[in-house]
């Protein structure tokens, strides 16, 4: 209704003064001023040729005569603050309560497709806390974009080739004694990760021995037996050696099975997996095309380059002199292949901020190749996540595995419930819901661009800015509604200031979803829903919901129910469930 009111105001002003509606601007009323909607009149000074105060008063009186929802207005310099009456808020909450899936735009056959890439792990180790931030962020952004009516496809590129994969393979061959996930009852990704760590432990021992013999750092690396064998294994893989390919396939399949278990726990699925072993040659086909169109050029050693100095960047290597491609080349080919597969209108890469330059280069090259969709490619850049104990290092085995994190937070939820005497009220499934809400909300409430510290203990707190706090508020409201449902009409009841604040907050929800989708920023949803829940809990504590007066009771239950609906809807956009009882 607020948007309709804004349109009505624009129509009245435009019709009265014959001005373009597009120059009429609104903003939220500042907290220190009285008002519910603020009209900015500075853009109108040139047309009216009057002072800002005169314009505000003239428009204020005009709108008061034509719009029944306006109770008063006040003028602060060039700002017209409009106060809306009780009827506006009552009619708004009634309309919202009758709207199915309020705030969510339904998809249709003409909906555009957005591709969101996230996760994209290496197959030499399990998913860890850094991956969890990536996965939770990519999944939530996918859900939020879907809520704006678009068709979203979730994809990932699995890095299943390269020297790091060969290191795990070699360590398993050398030290594994035929271990399998089934034999030692270990998830496949954890088993392969164990041997990646083992390789680096043994490799570092070799380096120490070689240094003690007086060799320099470069010599140590070249003389390392393990390093040499890992390189040989990579060359054999690249030449399609059947024995190596068999081992590579076996160990990768162990990892995929482990990944899928973790994805299931996180409630995440993908529409298509791309594999680097299948895509790393894709971009090479484009080299000739780029050379013919003079977008690329060859140097004397036959290496192929692209000049990006027009964009303030440098020259970028695309093909080495020996004919092998670099990462950017395969990313060009993969992007083009994805467009062929999905005909997307928008592509979002969820990748850490250490790759900012890489994606800047990628998008500029696609533009130079005249792909129209290149302008709709976006890098969802996010900061690193650490623990209170410090940074994580995969090679040293000091990362926090995603599975261990999930189990730790689940255990913390059980332990806290025991302390709060809720042990018999919640099932194991309930605790899984709580722990997932704790993890996802904690990771998403921080703006993605920022580095963050994940504190498991803080994330599970039932008070404060946490997922469990949202779940608890939702369950409290549902309990209230179950016991006291009412269908009494609420048109003629007066609302108090905090009820008005809650209705205002409810009205904002569709705009918050839109802004969050446009900026690929789930933290906007988190900030919004936490503010709403804080207001509601203050309302609950200071206002008796189940008063004797049936009209007031009906209003308060209606407001409560709409708050609960938005908590549930927001939780879904953030990727976790809610609980009816806690």
Q: Among 41, 58, 84, where does a domain finish? A: 84
Query: How far apart are alpha carbons 215 and 218 in whole angstroms?
Result: 8
User: In CATH, what number is assigned to the domain containing residue 68?
Assistant: 3.30.1360.70
Whether 224 maps to a domain, the answer reads yes
pLDDT at 393 over 50: no
The better pLDDT of the pair 397, 160 is held by: 160
**Listed residue (538, 524, 420, 405) closest to 459, CA to CA:** 405
Q: Among 196, 231, 266, where does a domain finish? A: 266
Whether 167 maps to a domain, the answer reads yes
Beta-bridged to residue 76, according to DSSP, are: 79
pLDDT band per the 50, 70, 90 thresholds, residue 420: low
The average pLDDT across 216-230 equals: 93
Whether 193 maps to a domain, the answer reads yes
- Residue 424: the pLDDT is 62
Q: Which helix (H) or strand (E) holds 567?
A: helix 550-574
Whether 28 maps to a domain, the answer reads yes
- What 3-state class would DSSP assign to 305? strand
- Residue 493: the pLDDT is 87
How does strand 70-76 pair with strand 25-27?
A: unpaired
Q: Among 37, 55, 84, where does a domain finish? A: 84
Residue 173's contacts (CB-CB under 8 Å, 6 or more residues apart) are 247
**Listed residue (282, 279, 261, 254) closest to 162, CA to CA:** 279
pLDDT band per the 50, 70, 90 thresholds, residue 361: very high
Q: How many domains does the chain have?
A: 2
Residue 347's contacts (CB-CB under 8 Å, 6 or more residues apart) are 114, 115, 117, 335, 338, 339, 373, 376, 377, 378
CB 326 within 8 A of CB 320: yes
pLDDT band per the 50, 70, 90 thresholds, residue 395: very low
Query: How far apart are alpha carbons 468 and 435 in whole angstroms?
Result: 8
Question: Do both 166 and 261 map to the same domain?
Answer: yes
- Residue 506: the pLDDT is 97
Beta-bridged to residue 116, according to DSSP, are: 154, 348
Beta strands of 320-363 (E only): which ranges? 346-352
Question: Do both 170 and 80 map to the same domain?
Answer: no
CB 55 within 8 A of CB 66: no
Domain residue limits at 72: 2-84
- Residue 463: the pLDDT is 85
The better pLDDT of the pair 487, 94 is held by: 94
Whether 540 maps to a domain, the answer reads no
The pTM for the full model equals: 0.91
Least confident of 131-145, 199-213, 411-425: 411-425
Query: How far apart are alpha carbons 369 and 374 in whole angstroms?
Result: 9
Whether 285 maps to a domain, the answer reads no
Whether 191 maps to a domain, the answer reads yes
- Residue 574: the pLDDT is 98
């Amino acid at each position: 209704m607020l948007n309709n009111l804004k349109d009505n105001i624009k129509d009245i002003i435009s019709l009265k003064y014959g001005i373009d509606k597009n120059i009429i601007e609104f903003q939220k009323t500042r907290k220190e001023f009285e008002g519910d909607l603020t009209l900015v009149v500075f853009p109108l000074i040139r047309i009216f040729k009057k002072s800002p105060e005169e314009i505000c008063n003239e428009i204020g009186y005009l709108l008061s005569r034509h719009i029944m929802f306006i109770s008063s207005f006040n003028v602060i310099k060039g700002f017209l603050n409009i106060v809306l009456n009780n009827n506006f808020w009552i009619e708004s909450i009634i309309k919202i309560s009758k709207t199915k899936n309020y705030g969510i735009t339904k998809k249709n056959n003409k909906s555009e497709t957005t591709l969101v890439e996230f996760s994209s792990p290496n197959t030499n180790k399990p998913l860890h806390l850094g991956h969890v931030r990536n996965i939770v962020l990519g999944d939530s952004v996918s859900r939020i974009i879907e809520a704006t009516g678009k068709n979203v496809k979730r994809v990932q590129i699995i890095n299943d080739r390269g020297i790091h994969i060969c290191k795990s393979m070699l360590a398993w061959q050398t030290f594994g004694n035929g271990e399998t996930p089934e034999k030692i009852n270990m998830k496949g990704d954890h088993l392969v990760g164990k041997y990646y760590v083992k390789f680096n432990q043994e490799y570092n021992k070799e380096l120490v021995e070689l240094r003690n013999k007086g060799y320099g750092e470069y010599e140590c690396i070249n003389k390392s037996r393990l390093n040499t064998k890992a390189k040989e294994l990579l060359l054999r893989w690249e030449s399609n050696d059947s024995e190596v390919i068999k081992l590579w396939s076996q160990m990768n399949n162990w990892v995929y099975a482990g990944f899928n278990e973790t994805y299931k726990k996180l409630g995440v699925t993908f529409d298509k997996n791309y594999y680097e072993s299948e895509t790393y040659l894709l971009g090479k086909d484009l080299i000739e095309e780029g050379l013919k169109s003079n977008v690329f050029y060859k140097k004397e050693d036959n290496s192929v380059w692209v000049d990006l100095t027009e964009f303030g960047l440098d020259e970028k290597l695309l093909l080495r002199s020996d004919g092998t491609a670099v990462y950017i080349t395969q990313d060009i080919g993969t992007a083009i292949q994805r467009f062929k597969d999905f005909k997307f209108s928008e592509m979002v890469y969820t990748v850490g901020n250490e790759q900012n330059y890489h994606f800047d280069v990628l998008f500029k090259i696609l533009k130079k190749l005249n792909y129209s969709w290149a302008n709709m490619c976006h890098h969802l850049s996010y900061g690193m996540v650490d623990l209170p104990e410090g940074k994580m290092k995969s090679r040293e085995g000091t990362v926090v595995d995603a599975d261990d994190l999930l189990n730790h937070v689940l255990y913390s939820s059980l332990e806290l419930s025991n302390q709060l005497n809720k042990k018999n009220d919640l099932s194991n499934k309930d605790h899984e819901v709580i722990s997932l809400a704790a993890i996802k909300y904690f990771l998403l409430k921080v703006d993605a661009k920022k580095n963050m510290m994940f504190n498991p203990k803080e994330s599970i707190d039932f008070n404060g800015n946490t997922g469990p706090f949202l779940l608890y508020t939702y369950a409290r409201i549902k309990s209230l509604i179950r016991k006291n449902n009412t269908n009494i009409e609420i048109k003629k009841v007066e609302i108090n200031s905090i009820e008005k604040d809650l209705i205002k907050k409810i009205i904002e929800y569709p705009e918050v979803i839109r802004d969050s989708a446009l900026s690929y920023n789930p933290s906007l949803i988190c900030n919004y829903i936490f503010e709403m829940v804080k207001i509601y809990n203050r309302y609950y504590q200071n206002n008796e919901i189940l008063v004797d007066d049936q009209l007031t009771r009906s209003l308060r239950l209606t407001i409560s129910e709409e708050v609960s609906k938005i908590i549930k809807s927001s939780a879904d956009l953030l990727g976790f469930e809610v609980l009816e009882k806690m």
